Chains A and B, each alone.
Chain A
Amino acid sequence: MLDFLSEEKVSKFIIDGIKEYRQKYPAEEALNSRIVRPRYPYYGHEVWEEAASAVLSGANLLLTGPKATGKNVLAENLAYVFGRPVWNISFHINIDASYLIGTDTFDGEKVVFRPGPVYQCARCGGFGVLDEINMAKNEALVVLHEILDYRHTIDIPGYDSIKVNPATRFIATMNYGYAGTRELNEALTSRFVVISMPQISMENLQKLLQHTFPSLKKKWIQQFALLFDDLRRKAEASEVSERAVDLRGLMDAIRLMQNGLSAGEALNMGITNKSFDPYERNLIRDVIKARIPQNLENQYFFE
């Protein structure tokens, strides 16, 4: 993966820093199952440099940006590059402090503490990915304050206060404006350094498709990338909702095509049918039709 960073023209100084970090904090063998090679690489050398520098300097990262900008992909990539176990925590409206830190439970004889993902991550020196952090209520997030700031401790009421492992980093992601999201509280925001994630460029999107589907013909790689761009423009013009701008869905559709499904059916499953509005589905189908022929077999697209 460090070779990949070199290919992405990430500065040598930062790559050396990552190597030092990995030597200083070698991963425990018991946690190897949590160190997962990411399915997709993150392309974009500027963001790589910003994010890696932040992690090296001990900061926690907040990745903000619209859908399909690669926030989670970058978070997974960072954890893997730094060789740390990952705890993925998806935030939602019902999340509360006990879910994050831990909760009491009954083991048949007595009440015991069952650690939550933030507690485990902080103890083991993992990378905690706080996904869609602004979906939770600000009151629920107050417990994170002392973990994220200079104190680096977790005080569990009724139990001990533990020191956060120095290898621990938290990477939060948020999409401002998603249905159900809210403004992030100023006190919490100040505990992160923020990267505003750019839209994936056409060049990087083509690289990503090429990497994920090496047998996809070059001219169709370009057409799939342009299709994604067409959908994004349509959503920006408010003609369709952001549901249509689904990079994961596009990748899934290409995978379905690789496995023998026709392009029309695959793209319906991966993208079009994610909109539940029949009128919107027609508009999405028209965009797809103008880039990808619907009924052709997979040898037309793949080598």
Chain B
Amino acid sequence: MKKYLYTAEQRQALNIVWNAAGRYDYNPPFVAYNPHGVPEFYLNFVVGLSDKWFNTEKLFDFFESYAGTAHQKVFDNITWLALENSLYEKELPHRPALKIMRENHALGFFREESTMSRQEWMAKNNLLYSLLSERWASVLGRKGPVLSPREKGLAKRLKAGGGLSTDGILDLMRAILKDYFLFSRFKGLPNALKFHFKGKLADLLARFASAEIVRTDTLEIRSSQGKPGGSSSGRNFSKRRKSESKNEMEACFGRSLYSPTEQAVLEHSLCTDGDSGRHLWFARGVPDSRSAKTPDAKAIAVNAEKQYQKNRSYYAAYSGRNSSTIRHLKAQITGALSQHAEPVPIASRSGRLSAGRVWRGTVLHSSCVFERRMTEPQPDFSVLLLLDASASRLESQEVIASQAYMISESLRLCRIPVEVDAFRSLRGFTVFQILKSYREGNSLGVFRYFSSGWNRDGLALKAAGVRLKASGTGSRILLVLTDASPNDAEPVSPYGNRPLPLDYSGSAGIEETAREIKALRSKNVQASAIFLGEDSEAKNAEKIYSGNFVRIHRSDEISKAVGRLLKDNISSLY
């Protein structure tokens, strides 16, 4: 799964670009930050204006035509200097504030200059820095730096006029690069000859200008926990050894929540039909490497601990935006709750006459003999958030943990009992890990989420039924965070009119899961899903949840999507 995630700063930079471009589906090739990592307002605005006034595709092609060359960074900045002047002249008649925005940027440039250390001065590219200095000094009507005649000529040519078309400005830039940098290989170099600026070299190049426009290829932040698919340790673990050992489960996931007798009763009632011969393990504990008795258990515990730290760091990195999501989601849930709140009679000086209080009028001369009906949200339902923790989620563990935490916290803050459980299948066991129970006063346990093994969704849903009952509330909502792609190494056991076992994948897995969703709904559980999968799996989600699901492409969509889902679910309860 490929996700586009942005920090608050990146998103702010994009918003400035989109605002200037006048459209929100524009994917800019550049964004600009100041040396402190704060979005550079004016330069990002110029990037957006380039989409408004020029042919974006032609600009993209031009930037690509020298990408990967040794001078890419300098060429980028010089091109933007030319674009800036032309765009300024084009936009100014339509936007009087642009003059002040430009002057403020120029002032910022010189302010930054005055705080630079000698090392920073030395790291500057003299030519580019002189050109920038000359440009911003002229904007402020100040005396610029001393330039050589050649530099003066270049600076003059970079003041591209507002009357230029896209072709006009690109012709100008090609001529400038040819005349001043002897560069004419605009088709780009073969891949083998290209090199990319990374690490320290990239940092060094980034210091060329005090505020700089940078290519956006760093905006896509992927989870780096390994490739999706079957090469994970969890799956190998499952495939290597299939002895159905409860001791092994206990070593890996801690003691079961239920006594051996209760466990046997549960398995007897739930591991039936296609799941007969399979086992369940309800774990409360956290894998602990110090007490792990087997190498496999130790490996799982070590990985789980590492993932816990990663989940927390990931959440902390986006904490501003995440807190905002929690606030929005909480507001949506509160809104939905208030619509269905039950009225409570309250003594009042006007309203409906209360027979039980009439005596107070005559005996106590009190006018408080009426009652009004006030409405207070008093939710009598619980939510179970079920997380698919199979190895197919390896690439997005931090994202899932963050999303689950936000959902859980929003519900908790609305005083709705919420439990968060993760499920995975290993060696014939479907392990149900309780990350946050109904009673817990915070959702930090959700960061213990990690993925490994397979996902036998049907059996997990049967087990979810047990946990739903444990909530003790009148009504229950089940939300499954899933890719709607059930997959287990253990087959669907023969039952009914199926004489042979079937692979627990594809249509068989979907059928088993859809059946369990139907069974839960027949028990008045509001079951729906938050779908995180690919386009190709959307039809599976449709089949399993009969349309009762929302799809999330980006983590910042969670507030709206889950809010809507919960609103619908809460409405159906009343």
Binding site for B on A (CB under 8 A): 93-94, 96, 98, 103-106, 108, 111, 114, 137, 179-180, 182, 219-220, 223, 230, 233-234, 237-239, 241, 276-280, 282-283, 286-287, 289-293, 296
B338 within 8 Å of A (CB atoms): yes
Other A-B contacts than A94-B375, A106-B369, 15 sampled, CB-CB below 8 A, are A104-B351, A104-B370, A106-B350, A111-B353, A180-B339, A233-B24, A234-B19, A277-B324, A277-B328, A278-B324, A279-B324, A286-B19, A289-B41, A290-B95, A291-B95
Residue of A with least CB distance to B14: A239
B229 within 8 Å of A (CB atoms): no
B156 within 8 Å of A (CB atoms): no
Q: Which residues of B contact A108 (CB under 8 A)?
A: 367
Q: Which residues of B contact A220 (CB under 8 A)?
A: 96
State in angstroms the CA–CA spacing of A105 and B369 once bound together. 9
**Cross-chain contact A105 with B19 (CB below 8 angstroms):** no
Scoring B11, B96, B335, B349 by chain A CB atoms within 10 A of each residue's CB, the highest score goes to B96
Instruction: Pull 19 A–B residue pairs with CB atoms less than 8 Å apart, ordered by A.
Output: A94-B343, A96-B373, A103-B350, A103-B370, A104-B350, A104-B352, A106-B349, A106-B350, A106-B370, A237-B18, A239-B11, A239-B18, A277-B327, A278-B320, A279-B320, A289-B101, A290-B19, A292-B97, A293-B96
Residue of B with least CB distance to A104: B353
**Cross-chain contact A94 with B374 (CB below 8 angstroms):** yes
Chain B 309-358 interface residues, beta-carbon cutoff 8 Å to A: 320-321, 324, 327-328, 331-332, 335, 338-339, 341, 343, 349-353
Binding site for A on B (CB under 8 A): 8, 11-12, 15-16, 18-20, 22, 24, 41, 45, 95-97, 100-101, 320-321, 324, 327-328, 331-332, 335, 338-339, 341, 343, 349-353, 361, 367, 369-370, 373-375, 560
**Cross-chain contact B12 with A286 (CB below 8 angstroms):** yes
**Cross-chain contact A291 with B339 (CB below 8 angstroms):** no
**Cross-chain contact B335 with A180 (CB below 8 angstroms):** yes
**Cross-chain contact A103 with B338 (CB below 8 angstroms):** no
Q: Which residues of A contact B370 (CB under 8 A)?
A: 103-106
Residue of B with least CB distance to A286: B16
**Cross-chain contact B95 with A223 (CB below 8 angstroms):** yes
Q: Which residues of A contact B15 (CB under 8 A)?
A: 234, 239, 283, 286-287
CB distance from A263 to the nearest CB of B (A): 10
CB distance from B21 to the nearest CB of A (A): 10
State in angstroms the CA–CA spacing of A230 and B23 once bound together. 10
Known A93-B375, A179-B331, A239-B15; judge A98-B351 contact (CB<8 A): yes
Task: Pick from A219, A230, A241, A282: contact of B19, CB below 8 A.
Answer: A230
**Cross-chain contact A291 with B361 (CB below 8 angstroms):** no
Task: Pick from A93, A280, A290: contact of B45, CB below 8 A.
Answer: A290
Q: Which residues of A contact B101 (CB under 8 A)?
A: 289-290
Q: Which residues of B contact A278 (CB under 8 A)?
A: 320, 324
Q: Which residues of A contact B16 (CB under 8 A)?
A: 286, 290
Residue of B with least CB distance to A263: B97
**Cross-chain contact B350 with A105 (CB below 8 angstroms):** yes
Known A94-B375, A96-B373, A279-B320; judge A238-B560 contact (CB<8 A): yes
Q: Which residues of B contact A230 (CB under 8 A)?
A: 19
State in angstroms the CA–CA spacing of A103 and B354 once bound together. 12
Q: Which residues of B contact A238 (CB under 8 A)?
A: 560
Q: Which residues of B contact A106 (CB under 8 A)?
A: 349-350, 361, 367, 369-370
**Cross-chain contact B339 with A93 (CB below 8 angstroms):** yes
Q: Which residues of B contact A279 (CB under 8 A)?
A: 8, 12, 320-321, 324
State in angstroms the CA–CA spacing of A241 and B11 once bound together. 15
CB distance from B256 to the nearest CB of A (A): 43
**Cross-chain contact A290 with B341 (CB below 8 angstroms):** no
**Cross-chain contact B339 with A182 (CB below 8 angstroms):** yes
Q: Sorted from nearest, which 5 A-B pairs have the closest CB atoms? A: A237-B24, A179-B335, A105-B350, A293-B100, A180-B335
CB distance from A229 to the nearest CB of B (A): 9
Q: Which residues of A contact B324 (CB under 8 A)?
A: 277-280
Residue of B with least CB distance to A108: B367
Q: Which residues of B contact A223 (CB under 8 A)?
A: 95-97
State in angstroms the CA–CA spacing of A287 and B375 once bound together. 39
Residue of A with least CB distance to B321: A279
Residue of B with least CB distance to A239: B15
Task: Pick from A93, A241, A287, A290: contact of B338, CB below 8 A.
Answer: A93
State in angstroms the CA–CA spacing of A223 and B96 once bound together. 8
CB distance from A298 to the nearest CB of B (A): 15
Q: Which residues of A contact B20 (CB under 8 A)?
A: 290
Residue of B with least CB distance to A222: B94
Q: Which residues of B contact A286 (CB under 8 A)?
A: 12, 15-16, 19, 41
**Cross-chain contact B328 with A241 (CB below 8 angstroms):** yes
CB distance from B26 to the nearest CB of A (A): 11
**Cross-chain contact A98 with B352 (CB below 8 angstroms):** yes
State in angstroms the CA–CA spacing of A220 and B96 once bound together. 9
Q: Which residues of B contact A282 (CB under 8 A)?
A: 12
CB distance from B357 to the nearest CB of A (A): 11
State in angstroms the CA–CA spacing of A219 and B96 once bound together. 8
**Cross-chain contact B97 with A290 (CB below 8 angstroms):** yes
State in angstroms the CA–CA spacing of A111 and B352 once bound together. 10
Q: Which residues of A contact B18 (CB under 8 A)?
A: 234, 237, 239
Residue of A with least CB distance to B13: A286
CB distance from A273 to the nearest CB of B (A): 16
Residue of A with least CB distance to B331: A179
State in angstroms the CA–CA spacing of A293 and B100 once bound together. 7
Residue of B with least CB distance to A227: B97
Q: Which residues of A contact B353 (CB under 8 A)?
A: 104, 111
CB distance from A5 to the nearest CB of B (A): 33
Residue of A with least CB distance to B338: A93
**Cross-chain contact B97 with A239 (CB below 8 angstroms):** no
State in angstroms the CA–CA spacing of A275 and B341 once bound together. 27
CB distance from B11 to the nearest CB of A (A): 8
Residue of B with least CB distance to A296: B100
State in angstroms the CA–CA spacing of A98 and B371 once bound together. 11
CB distance from A136 to the nearest CB of B (A): 10
**Cross-chain contact B367 with A283 (CB below 8 angstroms):** no
CB distance from B277 to the nearest CB of A (A): 48
Q: Which residues of A contact B24 (CB under 8 A)?
A: 233-234, 237, 239
Residue of B with least CB distance to A102: B350
Residue of A with least CB distance to B367: A106
State in angstroms the CA–CA spacing of A277 and B100 once bound together. 27
CB distance from B98 to the nearest CB of A (A): 8
CB distance from A253 to the nearest CB of B (A): 15
Q: Which residues of B contact A287 (CB under 8 A)?
A: 15, 19
CB distance from B43 to the nearest CB of A (A): 13
**Cross-chain contact B12 with A103 (CB below 8 angstroms):** no
Q: Which residues of A contact B320 (CB under 8 A)?
A: 278-279
Q: Which residues of A contact B343 (CB under 8 A)?
A: 94, 96
Q: Which residues of A contact B352 (CB under 8 A)?
A: 98, 103-104
Residue of B with least CB distance to A240: B15
CB distance from A299 to the nearest CB of B (A): 15
State in angstroms the CA–CA spacing of A279 and B6 once bound together. 13
CB distance from A133 to the nearest CB of B (A): 14
